Homo-oligomer: A and B are copies of this chain.
Amino acid sequence: MSQDTRKMFMDVIRKWTPHLDEPATDDCWAPEIEKAGLDKIKEIQSEKLEVAFRYIYEYSPFYSKKYKEAGLTPKDIKSIDDLHKIPVTDKEDLRRSIAACPPWGDFSCLDDHYWKQDGWTIWWTTGSTGAPVPCRYTSFDRVTQAWQAARHMYMSGFRRGDLAMFCAPFITHMFAWAHLKGLELMKIPAIPAGPPMPTEARIGHILNYRPTLLLGTPTYMIYLGETIREKGISAKDLSIREILIGGEPGGSLYATRKRLMNLWGCDVCDGFGTTEVGALGGHAHTCVYETKDQGRNSNLHFTEDSGIPEILNPKTFEPMPDGENGTIVWSSVSTVSQPILRFNLNDIMNIQSMDCPCGRSFRMAKNGVQGRADDMIHISGVNVFPANIEEAVRSINEFGNEYRLKLMDGKKGMINLVVEVEIMPEVPENDHERLLGVLQTRIFDKCQVNPKIESVAYGSLPRAEFKSKRILDLRAK
């Protein structure tokens, strides 16, 4: 009977994986899904959720126990209207599961036999918070993941005839791997040029081999463009047609996007995904319309068939009204390795129905990812997201791309926030004070806080090749 549930789940996943080998039309890989309309998507989600819940209940010891404790049986979950009955879960649950059953934990639906017969790879969460969690995926998942990633990139305008170059490492983060699998399916060749390849060699490859697509983090893509500019070469005149950024919140911020567009003279698309809940090439991406400069932050389409997004109050887990920010909670219903229901991603987003010129009916997140709930800093009763400060810094041309936030002990248990910025070397010194004042105002407009702003020598702040850490907590522990 158990075996039947796995087979049943795999059959449902396959049923909703049309056009496995190539796109259906010139502008949309799988229009039956991507342009299906909200009602049809809810039907698909309900069909997948019912069997996914039964499957997890039967196969995942950790969640089976958790669901039984919550008084649930497989019969209780028939459609997405029952979703709220399922307890929210988070990374701490995964860590507890691993601590109890090392080294993999007992949260996934793989037993040792199945893993040995159909195993493919292991990636680890990037550990923005706490110890990395290993996530195993199978050959079955590899196919679905490649299809999801290809659909996303196709939506963002990647096409056969392009040449992609990776500026992110192929190690234990899923970012590069998931997109590589998609590119293989799309028959777009890829140059693997992530670390430990040095930046100089990467620039040489761009100049010599003229890739049209780059993939990496926004931080590194800006660094790369600037390094090219320092050589007296305009990156705008090179071959790059589009950049896919991911791995950091803030990829949808207009200030960051504009820096990229100004440096590279190309379109920019943002991708948002999470290793724990399927690594399916991202849960939300920019479509080809949003990759263009719209003079604002970009909006992301959720992949509502691969999972079910909810936006909840980060504390009470009550649903937020459409269009209001909250933590995103994702139910993964397209992987046999580790489907997870109502997993709190701890990223701040919103969700709303919008008519997008691209024609897709998936709901969207206006302005993309606002920041990680974990990164949220409470200053004098105000919630501050580093991404908002990033936006303020990068909106002023005279500042460099880097910034750093220092948290210091203030009076009576308060936090003093210091924002370190780099003023561009060509800016005359007698203009510095004015610029710092402008920044102060912009930060206050965005965040309602008044941090101390300090300028440091240009180039002195740390530059990361992959994900950046820009918060320095100097408070006494």
Residues of A within 8 A of B (CB): 102-104, 115-122, 134, 136, 139, 142, 160-161, 163, 169-172, 177, 184, 187-197, 208-210, 465
Select one of B115, B160, B196 contacting A196, CB under 8 A: B196
Give 9 closest A-B pairs by Cβ, nearest first.
A119-B189, A170-B170, A116-B161, A103-B208, A195-B196, A196-B196, A171-B197, A122-B191, A103-B209
* Assembled-state Cα–Cα distance A232/B170 (Å): 31
Q: Is A142 a contact partner of B209 (Cβ separation < 8 A)? A: no
Copies of this polypeptide in the complex:
2
Q: Which residues of B contact A191 (CB under 8 A)?
A: 121-122, 172
A208 to B192, CA, bound (A): 28
Q: Is A171 in contact with B142, judged by CB distance below 8 angstroms?
A: no
Q: In the bound complex, what is the Cα–Cα distance between A206 and B123 (angstroms)?
A: 14
Contact check, B197 vs A160: say whether CB atoms are below 8 A apart. Answer: no
Kindly list chain B residues whose C-beta atoms are within 8 Å of the C-beta of A189.
115, 119-122, 136
Give the distance in Å from the alpha carbon of A169 to the alpha carbon of B195 in the complex. 9
Q: A116-B160, A187-B119, A187-B139 are in contact. Are A193 and B171 (CB under 8 A)?
A: yes
Can you name the residue of chain B whose Cβ is closest to the Cβ of A194? B171
Question: Whole-angstrom distance between the alpha carbons of A240 and B470 in the complex?
Answer: 39
A144 to chain B, nearest CB (A): 15
A103-B208, A115-B189, A172-B197 are known; give 15 further A-B pairs, CB within 8 A.
Answer: A104-B209, A118-B187, A119-B188, A120-B190, A121-B190, A122-B189, A142-B184, A169-B196, A170-B171, A171-B192, A171-B194, A172-B193, A177-B192, A196-B196, A196-B465
A136 to B190, CA, bound (A): 10
> Distance in Å from the Cβ of A177 to the closest Cβ of chain B?
7
In the docked arrangement, what's the CA distance between A194 and B177, Å?
A: 14
CB A223 to nearest CB in B, in angstroms, measures 16
User: Are B184 and A139 interface neighbours, CB within 8 A?
Assistant: yes
Task: Please name the residue on chain B nearest to A98 by beta carbon.
Answer: B208
Min CB distance, A85 to chain B, in Å?
Answer: 34
Please give the distance in Å from A420's CB to the nearest CB on chain B. 26
Given A170-B192, A172-B191, A184–B120 Cβ distance below 8 Å? yes
List B contacts of A102 (CB < 8 A). Answer: 208
List of B residues within 8 angstroms of A121 by Cβ: 189-192
**Beta-carbon nearest neighbor of A195 in chain B:** B196
* Complex Cα–Cα for A120 and B161 (A): 11
Complexed CA–CA distance, A89 and B187 (Å):
31
Closest chain B residue, CB of each to CB of A171: B197
Question: Smallest distance from the beta carbon of A458 to chain B beta carbons, Å?
Answer: 26
